[in-house]
Amino acid sequence: MAAWLGREFPAWVIWWGPATRRYWALPRRGVVAPLLEAADPEALVAALREAQAWNGIGPTARRP
């Protein structure tokens, strides 16, 4: 699932943490956005979309 999420959100490095049992997303170099974490893929997708919208990343970016 993390690999699929990484392809869907190329501005982020996404992984599953086996020790934490959570999904994590870190913005790639040059992108200013928060480190994200979620218990399941759906919650991570929601967090990613919100972060992208607020930080002007990707197709969901909010434009003035």
Give tens-digit pLDDT for 39-60. 999 999 999 999 888 877 766 5
pTM, entire model: 0.80
pLDDT in tens, 7-24: 899 889 999 999 999 999
* Residue 10 covered by a domain: yes
Cα(23)–Cα(16) distance, integer angstroms: 5
* Residue 55 covered by a domain: no
* Residue 18 lies in domain: 2-28+36-48
pLDDT value of position 53:
85
Return the DSSP state at 32.
-
pLDDT value of position 29:
76
Domain total of the chain: 1
